[in-house]
Amino acid sequence: MNKKFLWWDNPKDAVMTIVFLLLAVGAINIYSASYKEQVSALLQKYIFFTGFGSIIAYGLMKTNYKIFLNKRFLFVCYALVFVALLILFMAATVPQLKSLFGSLTISVNGATRWINLKVFQLQPSELAKLLSILISAKYLGNMLAKNIPIRLFNKEVIILLATIGFNGILVSKQPDLGTAAIIIGLAVGLLVVAGLPLIQFLMVCTGGVILGFCQYQDYHLNRLKVWLDPWIDPVGRGYQSVQAQLTIGSGGFLGTNWGGGTFKFFHLPEAHTDFAFAVYCQENGFFGALFLITLFLVLGFALAKIAANTKNEKGFILVCGVTLFIVGQAAANMAMVCGVLPVIGVPLAFISYGGTSLVVNLIAIGLALSVYNDELNQEKERAIVEPEERRNDLKVVSRRWNADA
């Protein structure tokens, strides 16, 4: 476990270094992507949530992760997240209840995704992503430990998909299909990692497509058309995609330098949140974008290295889930900004502004490093026990030899 990884002494140091670099890039990008009137407030909040999340991550890193996979703990967490999502669901879909929950929920651009806690705004769907990983680690880890084959119609798998799928449906009604797809996709991805047969994986995907059609509304078709060709409505539904691509293209190979981008002023919506990558590309160019992509790839490889050396089944699934969550979501955001995927409202980990998202990302990293520390301690214990066992074996052999003599 504690073996050299690229330029670092171990993968843990690599993860911590890369996360620090990503947070530094994120802070600079938030400063650069914000209007002058917003800079101070947004940057201060970003730094606050970075510090808050880092403290939690450090505490988790020093704690045994297994206590967070306790059935009672997961039930309480699920109940709290479910209630929060249910409140948002009712506020978004039942007009009569909108006034009742009006002061408790926050809607932006027609999407009701935030709970107003006065001190800060909580986005429960981000917590649902983390919960998806923890619940999967609990159920799939138990099945792997007991050598139970991962099959679609196993009781544990049905409970897992139903539990996480229900959260995904509630999130899709906010509406937020992109986040709902990630919540369910994390569980499905971990099923594949755990050994779900290909044919059953395709069955799950087919079910997901059917479920998506059940959620179909006219704006989904319009979004699909705009994704295929944003220039059919460049000042309407395709405006974000067109401006994002123009922003990226204007950066060239070397970019305009920090703060030199102009598209963030009145041209590119959500420049400091979902489309922060476009601003970064304009100001840092192709080589800057390549650097950021490399950071995420190395982070993914470092986490994968930890997962590959994790002997505990629950820990293995947990680290795989964190890897899929951080790196997979980053890939989805970059693909969305570049026009490879439709606009789905997914933030770029550590770079996009968003308090709940940033804290959840840091918590996920803390849990992965907790697995690393636990495995390292287990290795040290085995290194102490094994020589002792060998000495005992030698004593037995010696006594037999003397008796024979």
- The pLDDT of residue 244: 79
Specify the pTM: 0.88
- The pLDDT of residue 395: 58
- The pLDDT of residue 89: 86
- The pLDDT of residue 345: 75
| Domain residue spans of the chain | 11-388
SS (H, E, C) the chain: CCCCECCECCHHHHHHHHHHHHHHHHHHHHHHHCCHHHHHHHHHHHHHHHHHHHHHHHHHHCCCHHHHHCHHHHHHHHHHHHHHHHHHHHHHHCHHHHCCCCCCEEEECCEEEEEECCCCEECHHHHHHHHHHHHHHHHHHHHHHCCCCCCCCCHHHHHHHHHHHHHHHHHHCCCCHHHHHHHHHHHHHHHHHHCCCHHHHHHHHHHHHHHHHHCCCHHHHHHHHHHHCHHHCCCCCCHHHHHHHHHHHCCCCCCCCCCCCCCCCCCCCCCCCCCHHHHHHHHHHHHHHHHHHHHHHHHHHHHHHHHHCCCCHHHHHHHHHHHHHHHHHHHHHHHHHHCCCCCCCCCCCCCCCCHHHHHHHHHHHHHHHHHHHHHHHHHHHHHHHHHHHHHHHHHHHHHHHHHHC
- The pLDDT of residue 126: 92
pLDDT tens for the chain, residues 1 to 405: 667 887 888 899 999 999 999 999 988 888 776 655 466 677 888 889 999 999 999 999 999 999 999 989 999 999 999 998 988 888 877 766 666 666 777 777 677 888 888 777 888 999 999 999 999 999 999 999 999 988 988 888 999 999 998 898 888 887 778 888 899 999 999 999 998 898 988 888 887 777 766 666 666 667 777 777 777 777 677 777 777 778 888 778 877 766 655 555 556 666 677 788 888 888 888 898 999 999 999 999 999 999 999 999 999 999 999 999 999 999 998 988 888 888 777 888 898 888 889 999 999 999 999 999 998 888 787 777 656 555 565 555 455 555 555
